Amino acid sequence: MTDINSNGGKCPSCGKPISNYNASSTDYGSPIRTCKCCGQPYLDSRYRELAIEEPWAGDLKASTGIKIALMGLFILVVSGGITFLTYHFKGYYYKKLAFVAVLSLLVIGYGIFDAIRVKSGAKQKSLDRKKAESEQRLMDRAYAQQLADLGYNVPNKYL
């Protein structure tokens, strides 16, 4: 069966577009999804079974959160600087640019929050919990076989 990502976000069975499909989004969990139109299961490789695959490399590095915060800081300096200069010299400012400056504060906050979660071990605990859930799902031989039938690389110990 075709993976949804190689099928352009369409159901491999009926060909209808999957709602809220974003090829760049990824998560941990069951890669088996069910089409809302035809009810057929399909493989969504945007999701990973942690019991089979390792977490993404950047998920457990505090430097990833720091880089996100630094990108937000750069955006804040540029958009905030332009907003300040246009207001100071021309007497007005662009609302969209001021909005971007405010949004960059959220990006900075998220980056710092992510780095703190990694350093404190909270993110590792969350991944450990998701891995245990993944192992629990894979203990069901029918589920593991369905994954294999859909084209997911399942180790023999689960089959």
Tell me how far apart the alpha carbons of residues 66 and 113 are, in angstroms, rounded to a whole number: 9
Q: Of all residues in the chain, what percent carry a pLDDT higher than 90?
A: 58
Residues 100-116 as b/e (b if ≥16 CB within 10 A, e otherwise) read: bbeebeebbeebeebbe
How close are the terminal C-alpha atoms of the chain, in Å? 19
Q: Are 105 and 72 in contact (CB under 8 A)?
A: yes
| pLDDT at res. 10 | 87
**pLDDT number for residue 99:** 92
Model pLDDT, residue 2:
62
Which range is most confident: 14-23, 41-50, 64-73, 96-105? 64-73
Reported pTM = 0.76
The pLDDT tens digits for 89-121 are 999 888 898 899 999 999 999 999 999 999 999
- 43 φ, ψ (degrees, to nearest 5): -95, 130
Q: Which of 24, 116, 33 has its CA nearest to residue 69? A: 116
